[in-house]
Chains A and B, each alone.
Chain A
């Protein structure tokens, strides 16, 4: 027995020595840019970008810059505009379509968690509009999906006169309570299911501190499988494309909402222009009841259901969404 024990001890020492001295030169590191998540605009100068409001945002435009501007706002918070690129079809309809990955998201520059505020996200949007606007009379429309639709509403609530019209696709809510209620319906988990261990089990293998962006972004991407798995509550038909999830952005904004709450309906009564509010047929957590509740904060609403789509309406429901958006925007000509 003693000789066997001695052998085990020697073997353990051998393993530790192997780890220590072989150097593992061919191994990869989680934090190296480009290994697990794409490089951002600060790491790859070839990416299309604009520098505004103290940050560098990944941004693209389509269409005639003098045409009415449609600013596309992606969801999350923390995802990117890749799944919304169908909206560039609006350029063929005569609109100037502006995409940007929000601060810390997608291919845009990363920032530390403690630098975020909701006002900063609104200021970024103001800066993007100013960067691309050709004249004071150029009409500005916001088209937002999920969190992007919430951000659009926060903007309208803060600056009702600045925006000509709004297209909203399934905003979670315009108050923190509405949003929490919706999120809780999308995240129902039974502890004994595969979904649950898919969400949590990798936490023991991959860890990062609060500013280890690459690790946290990759972990968020892994967890995103939840939103596209078979039978997902959001009704998504499968995976949808993304560049990089901004985990720090998401964590920062959720922390702020949890701490401070929000209510972006206080001045919506001043925005009497008709808005287009869309919800999806297949999102089991949303439905006409929640759509009616959330949209009622606006005084003038065109409420539409997008058949055949789940939550990611601009990606999975574009064929039914596009005619409604085009007709809505054209009504301002």
Chain B
């Protein structure tokens, strides 16, 4: 396990110089003369969150953007819960104004409350299919967020309740599908967007306690 984590950490560090914007891109406005993008966003995703992102468009035949994003839920302790996503997205299909993109991210998450601390490495794969104009776009989104391996560390309260409780690396620990719609408006070097959708556990028999997500965001290209 230590080897895997080392590789993930090294990979994360290596990817930072190449990573690019956050979540949503209007492929029609992301031209080669402005290949960098910063993003701020806010919404509900397993909690009320705020996020920032940075991205860079690669000079490749296939439009590819590498991304890095950090988000954290609101609350008194800002750094006890957070999520970092590193990865990229590519426009894999373009027919007139219709476009399909594929996204792949590595994820590191942290969660802590009075009873437990969770450190998770996961992945997210998703696709957007939609209609993109230079001023606006609308697309559907479908994806899968897999919690691959999680380190669980229980606090003394939990250990006092159950001395046999096992701290350690648990694999796998879960996964959620998500699906929704996205729409954005572009002006000058900026985009604003909103996306809304639902989430469900990987076998579709249960749902997260609050099974929806909502995000509004702003991109600035430079």
Interface residues of A (CB under 8 A from B): 1, 4-5, 7-8, 11-12, 14-15, 18-19, 22, 24, 26-30, 34-38, 191-210, 215, 221-222, 224-225, 228-229, 239, 241-244
Contacts and interface: CB of A to CB of B under 8 A. Distances in A.
B46 A24 contact: no
Given A206-B150, A206-B174, A208-B206, A38 B168 contact: no
A231 to B, nearest CB: 11
Given A8-B15, A15-B8, A22-B4, 10 more contacts: A8-B14, A19-B148, A19-B149, A27-B168, A36-B152, A194-B76, A194-B77, A197-B48, A207-B147, A241-B160
B110 to A, nearest CB: 9
A205 B74 contact: no
Contacts of A201: 46-47, 73, 81, 111
28 contacts: A1-B58, A11-B7, A11-B14, A19-B149, A28-B166, A36-B152, A191-B47, A192-B74, A193-B76, A196-B73, A198-B113, A200-B47, A201-B47, A202-B46, A204-B174, A204-B208, A205-B120, A205-B147, A205-B173, A206-B174, A207-B147, A207-B202, A208-B201, A215-B174, A221-B115, A221-B158, A228-B114, A241-B160
Contacts of B11: 8, 11-12, 15
Interface centre among A11, A29, A202, A210 (most CB of B within 10 A): A202
Contacts of B162: 37-38, 243-244
Contacts of A4: 18
Interface size class for chain B? 35 or more
Interface string B103-122: 00010010101111010101
Contacts of B48: 191-192, 196-197
A15 B47 CA distance: 29
A18 B175 CA distance: 20
A22 B3 contact: yes
Contacts of A241: 160-161
Contacts of B206: 207-210
Contacts of B158: 221
Interface of B: 1, 3-4, 7-8, 10-11, 14-15, 18, 44-48, 58-60, 73-77, 81, 83, 106, 109, 111, 113-116, 118, 120, 122, 145, 147-150, 152, 157-158, 160-162, 164-166, 168-171, 173-176, 201-203, 205-206, 208-210
Contacts of A198: 75, 113-114
B29 to A, nearest CB: 22
Contact of A207 (B10, B115, B171, B174): B174
Nearest to A32: B166
B161 A200 contact: no
A287 B162 CA distance: 33
Contact of A194 (B75, B145, B201): B75
Contacts of A36: 152, 165-166
Contact of A5 (B58, B147, B150): B58
A27 B171 CA distance: 6
A117 to B, nearest CB: 20
B149 A24 contact: yes
